[in-house]
Amino acid sequence: MLYGVLYMPALRTQIYLSSDQRRKLDARRRRERKTLAAVIRDAIDAYVGTDRTRDVEKVLDETFGVNPHFTVPSRDEWEERARRLGI
């Protein structure tokens, strides 16, 4: 994995951080024993959701059927309610 990180195609990007942001990143970097760049890349991946689809699917799979007594109203009930509300 380290080999892939060292030789991955990359673009250099400069950003400005507040002192509080940098302090928090440094603390996390030390705690996780990673480089600052690795911590920032991980944060960016989490923000832009590279694995978000898998996360959503996992949550749906884990929670599917947790309430076996849940019922969905019939389409007729939806339409009746819409008529009453004037939608």
Ordered DSSP codes for the chain? -HHHHHTS----------HHHHHHHHHHHHHHT--HHHHHHHHHHHHHTTTHHHHHHHHHHHHTTS-TT--PPPHHHHHHHHHHHT-
Structural domain of 57: 20-63
Give the model confidence (pLDDT) of 3-32 as tens digits: 555 566 778 899 999 999 999 999 999 999
Does residue 4 form part of some domain? no
* In-domain check, residue 84: no
**Total domains, the chain:** 1
Q: Is the residue at 86 inside a domain? A: no
* Structural domain contains residue 1: no
The structure's pTM equals 0.48
Say if 72 falls within a structural domain: no
User: For residue range 67-79, what is the model confidence (pLDDT) as tens digits?
Assistant: 878 888 888 888 8
